[in-house]
Structure 1
Amino acid sequence: MTKTTPLPLKIIIYLFLLVGAIVMFFPFVWMVSTSLKTSGAVAAMPPQLIPNPIDFGNFAEVWNKVNFGRYTLNSFIIVTLDMIGALLSCAIVAFGLAMFQFRGRSLIFTIMLATLMIPGQVTMIPTYFIWKQFGMLNTYYPLIIPSFLASAFGIFLMHQYIKALPKELYESAVIDGCSPPGIFARIYLPLCKPALAALGVFTFMGAWNNTLGPLIYLQSKELYTLPLGILYLKSENVNQALLMASAVITTTPVLIVYLVAQKQFVQGIASTGMKG
């Protein structure tokens, strides 16, 4: 919208956005509401949006009796290592592709981008047998090691941001006698905070909500992550209040991470989208 947009049109647009926001936000509100209900209140008719009485016991039961504390710890271990691996590997590869001129660079970059068009279902079975041959099934290695090998999306995101930075920064640092690793660590990495924040949020959300990977590679209940914990609860036919309490526990860290990194995330996405 511009300053010349008529007032009636502005009102219509804002009303439309408000309705859309309410529609999108209502399932989350209902999830939180159901997690605070007793088992009898869940089936009450008409449905209660505000629980009466409010029962926090569902969270304690899920956390202690269903071992969600262990599942949360497992998820944090995987997510932390995934973020470290993804941010470092993608930034290093993107810096090399953006700063150094060598034969075949464009071909390598094109082939890397082409891998984004390959559906995950195509490589899922061969990848499973590779990890099986290495004897790494029922471990976290298949969920963590790929993050240290850089992803095409992460490399592209970082490459576009680094490519948009002034080339004179690199040239000046070389003249001052700084080595490429030093230039990367001391100059470019601090300047890439918005892009790193954006990639970090994407990596966190992907690893935290990953259900298929743990479902394929993990068999022991002690190794379960939060998404598998929710599936386990659902298979046990527990009441909806407990199920929604587990969903709130799983969703809350994602909201916190996004709210904390929102400014850097939006700036990183805008920069990599507008420049390059």
Structure 2
Amino acid sequence: MANMTPNRGNSHTTLILLYSVLIIYAAITLMPFIWMLITSFKEPRDVFKLPPSFVPKLLFTDQPFANYSEIWTKRDFVIYFRNSAFVSFMAAVGQVFATSLGGYAFARLDLPGKNWLFALVLVTAFVPVEVTIIPEFLIMRGLGWIDTFLPLIVPSFLVGAFGTFMLREYFASLPKDYGDAAYVDGATPFQIFWKVYLPLAQPALVAVFVIAFINNWDELLRPLLFLNSNELKTVPLGLMSFVSQYEASWTLLMAGSVISTLPLIIIYMLTQKYVLQGFAGGGIKG
């Protein structure tokens, strides 16, 4: 009994140190978001005031949400928000569609040369966007898709390296006996995929959807190249409108950034359990 006391004391000390490190790390990580939130409630003249103030004066006025009201009613941010939601949702659905089919085929079907094809799909994940963006622009222009949402959505229905890899690992981790039993009962390969394995892969599908949604929500380069009309612009392009060559509306930019960040936080909080299960079930460790 006497020997247990020091060990218990050491474990408490270790936990205290661990939680202290985690709290410090969390504070450092959250500090940019906290400062962004504070700045969104400031008046323009207080943004670069020294020493900096952590209590925005706008909160104590009769219009504490003036910055949010302006971007939401006068700067077309409702249109940008709606466009980003539509494009991100459709692109995420496309990723789930394409990668679930590809991941299942690479994991469960006996296809000639499938390992080489899978390696080729993975290689595309390491090709910088800057290498392919010019040919991609020429193709979209040839199809007459410039200034439409199609260049932002259709490619997601064709391929997705990360999602294909993740779902391949997840499908491969599921028991093969389920498919064999369904095959004995007369199910076709597509029925086995659709009715047996796809419902079991729900956590991985949600994880792919969330990651694809976030990536497309934050996408700037492709909307910048493919969209010209103001009514088609997405949130990242809308945020760029607050920065000009000679000045920037920092308070409005921070308010817009807060609004654009909140949906991602809410989506991740609602689906966190499935995302973690999707990564763990597929044997992918972060």
Q: Same fold (TM over 0.5)?
A: yes
Band the TM-score falls in, shorter-chain normalisation = over 0.9
Alignment of 1:30 onto 2:35: yes
Alignment of 1:19 onto 2:24: yes
What letter matches 2:196 in structure 1?
Answer: I
Residue 193 of structure 1 deviates from its aligned partner by: 1.1
Equivalent pairs: percent with the same residue? Answer: 36
- The corresponding residue for 1:8 is 13
Match of 2:260 among 250, 253, 261: 250
CA distance in structure 2 between the aligned counterparts of 1:159 and 1:239, rounded to whole angstroms: 46
- The corresponding residue for 1:141 is 150
Residue 43 of structure 1 deviates from its aligned partner by: 4.2
CA distance in structure 1 between the aligned counterparts of 2:178 and 2:117, rounded to whole angstroms: 25
What letter matches 1:130 in structure 2?
Answer: I
CA distance in structure 2 between the aligned counterparts of 1:151 and 1:41, rounded to whole angstroms: 45
CA distance in structure 2 between the aligned counterparts of 1:4 and 1:183, rounded to whole angstroms: 55
**Alignment map for 1:1-150 (pairs within 5 Å):** 6-54=11-59, 55-150=64-159
CA distance in structure 2 between the aligned counterparts of 1:123 and 1:189, rounded to whole angstroms: 32
Match of 1:201 among 210, 217, 222: 210
CA distance in structure 2 between the aligned counterparts of 1:27 and 1:9, rounded to whole angstroms: 29
Structure 2, unpaired ranges of 5+: 1-7
Counterpart contact for 2:166–2:284, Cα < 8 Å: no
What letter matches 2:165 in structure 1?
Answer: F
Answer with 1 or 2: which has the greater Rg: 2
CA distance in structure 2 between the aligned counterparts of 1:204 and 1:84, rounded to whole angstroms: 9
Counterpart contact for 2:242–2:249, Cα < 8 Å: no
Alignment TM-score, normalising by the size of structure 1 = 0.93
Any idea what the Cα deviations from partners look like across 1:10-66, whole Å, max 9, x if unmatched? Answer: 322221221111010011111111112233443444322232341101111001110
Q: Secondary structure at the match of 1:273?
A: coil
Matched residues, number: 274
CA distance in structure 1 between the aligned counterparts of 2:219 and 2:179, rounded to whole angstroms: 38
**Alignment map for 1:206-225 (pairs within 5 Å):** 206-225=215-234
Match of 2:198 among 189, 196, 203: 189
Q: Secondary structure at the match of 1:235?
A: coil
Alignment of 1:261 onto 2:271: yes
CA distance in structure 2 between the aligned counterparts of 1:273 and 1:264, rounded to whole angstroms: 14
Any idea what the Cα deviations from partners look like across 1:46-94, whole Å, max 9, x if unmatched? Answer: 3222323411011110011100000011101101111111101110121
Residue 238 of structure 1 deviates from its aligned partner by: 4.6
Counterpart contact for 2:242–2:250, Cα < 8 Å: no
Q: Secondary structure at the match of 2:56?
A: coil
Q: Secondary structure at the match of 2:145?
A: coil
Higher mean C-alpha deviation, range 68-77 or range 92-101: 92-101
Alignment of 1:158 onto 2:163: no
